[in-house]
Amino acid sequence: MKVIFQQDVPGQGRKGEVKEVSDGYARNYLIPRKLAVPATEGNLRRLDAERTKQAQAAQQAYEAARALKAALEAEAVTIAVKTGGGGKLFGAVTAEKIAEALARKGHPVDRRKIVVKEPLRTLGRHTVDVKLHADVTARLVVELVEA
């Protein structure tokens, strides 16, 4: 019997995959547990429509990430910090502070997407990466100035 997997089943198939399995396995295990549905013409059409919708959503997310990348790279983020002698900061500027500064500028970005290799501890211009999408990474310029 041909079935469409609704969830990943170890050793059998992944979600959305159409496979031939034994009739008893499908009727007694997969279908009652809602792990798979029979591969009827209607279910195959529904699967195709779902894949199309997912592809469109993925394309929209990619385009939104590219637009945000262009906006982030167009301007620098300035953060005012308290400093001690020699331009050294009290503490450090972390991804959370950068995310707050971006939110104030109208570009809300999750702090976990901001890649700061090491905390920023000196005044001046620093470059950090922002992972907006699996294929889109923005290079953001962060300028630290004395408050």
Task: Tell me how far apart the alpha carbons of residues 12 and 10 are, in angstroms, rounded to a whole number.
Answer: 6
Q: Read off the pTM.
A: 0.73
The pLDDT confidence band at residue 33, using thresholds 50, 70 and 90, is: very high
Whether the per-residue pLDDT at 87 is higher than 80: the answer is no
Residue 114 tokens read as: 């901001």
The pair of three-digit structure tokens given for residue 123, joined into one six-digit string = 């005044």
Fold matches, 2-62 and 64-146: no
Average pLDDT over residues 22-41: 96
User: Stretch 138-143: mean pLDDT, rounded?
Assistant: 94
How does pLDDT run across 92-121, given as a tens digit for each residue? 899 999 999 999 999 999 999 999 988 888
Residue boundaries of the structural domains of the chain? 2-62, 64-146
Task: Give the 3-state DSSP-derived string for the chain, with helices as H, strands as E and coil as C.
Answer: CEEEECCCECCCECCCCEEECCHHHHHHHHCCCCCEEECCHHHHHHHHHHHHHHHHHHHHHHHHHHHHHHHHHHCCEEEEECECHHHEEEEEECHHHHHHHHHHCCCCCCHHHEECCCCEEECEEEEEEEEEECCEEEEEEEEEEEC
Task: Give residue 88's pLDDT.
Answer: 79
Q: What angle do CA 128, 132, 134 make, to 5 degrees?
A: 110
Separation CA 13–CA 19 (nearest Å): 7
Q: Which CATH class is domain 64-146?
A: alpha beta
- 2-62 — its CATH code? 3.40.5.10
